[in-house]
């Protein structure tokens, strides 16, 4: 069984030739894959904090749901280790809605007899991605001043797992 395609195949934002409708007859894609993202809000949701640290995208990009979940898990684990779960509120700001499709091609001898080529080349749904515009927050972490520097260092560990370039911005909450 073949694995996932590389993330760079889906990095750039393209027009969606996918349609999701609550009426199955009007959908272009019958079955949409479920997201791997388990939680969008972590830590202490009710507490008021002084600062918000954001991971902001420098350019428009598509981020697959498994990349988002992977980086979310790393950041949340490190926040739990260093700050404990009552000293932060970690929020995932983007939601994967864009359906990724793949028209699988066979290779090897006599593969042309088993596939249709570019006829019916719409492809099957293989995953979902979040379309992120330039300047959009991907992750937000709310903390008090005491934990500001640690939080910035932890947020830097998420960027190697995500496509594209990011900046870290600190805002004071009034």
| Domain harbouring 13, CATH code | 3.90.1170.10
pLDDT, one tens digit per residue, over 5-17 is: 887 777 888 776 6
Considering only residues 40 and 1, tell me which one the structure prediction assigns the higher pLDDT. Answer: 40
Say whether pLDDT at 154 is over 70.
Answer: yes
Asked whether residue 1 is domain-assigned, the answer is no
Chain-centre distance for alpha carbon 75: 14
**Range with lowest mean pLDDT among 78-87, 91-100, 121-130:** 121-130
In a domain, 74, yes or no: yes
Report yes or no on whether pTM surpasses 0.75.
yes
19 SS3 class: coil
On the question of pLDDT at 147 being above 60, the answer is yes
Could you report the per-residue pLDDT of 45-86, keeping only the tens digit for each? 999 999 999 999 999 999 999 999 999 999 999 999 999 989
- Mean pLDDT check: name the lowest of 24-28, 55-59, 95-99: 24-28
DSSP of 149-170, one letter per residue?
Answer: HHHHHHHHTTGGGSSS-EEEEE
Question: Is there a domain that residue 2 lies in?
Answer: no
Q: How many domains does the chain have?
A: 1
Q: What is the C-alpha to C-alpha distance for residues 88 and 167, in angstroms, rounded to an integer? A: 20
Range(s) of the domain holding residue 26: 7-172
Domain contains 73 = yes
Quick check: is 121 in a domain?
Answer: yes
Q: Quickly count: other Cβ atoms within 10 Å of residue 61's Cβ.
A: 23
Residue 140 within a domain: yes
Mean pLDDT across the chain? 88
Q: Is residue 86 part of a domain?
A: yes
């Amino acid at each position: 069984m073949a694995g996932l395609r590389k993330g760079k195949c889906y990095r750039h934002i393209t027009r969606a030739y996918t349609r999701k409708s609550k009426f199955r007859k009007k959908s272009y894609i019958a079955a949409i894959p479920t997201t791997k993202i388990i939680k969008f809000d972590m830590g202490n949701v009710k507490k008021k904090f002084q600062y918000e640290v954001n991971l902001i995208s420098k350019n428009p990009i598509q981020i697959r749901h498994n990349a988002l979940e992977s980086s979310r898990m790393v950041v949340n684990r490190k926040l739990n280790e260093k700050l404990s779960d009552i000293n932060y509120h970690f929020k995932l700001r983007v939601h994967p809605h864009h359906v990724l499709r793949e028209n699988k091609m066979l290779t090897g001898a006599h593969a042309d007899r088993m596939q249709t080529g570019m006829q019916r080349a719409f492809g099957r749904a293989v995953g979902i991605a979040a379309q992120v515009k330039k300047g959009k927050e991907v992750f937000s972490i709310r903390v008090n001043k005491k934990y500001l520097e640690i939080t910035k260092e932890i947020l830097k560990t998420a960027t190697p797992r995500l496509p594209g370039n990011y900046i870290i911005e600190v805002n004071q909450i009034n």
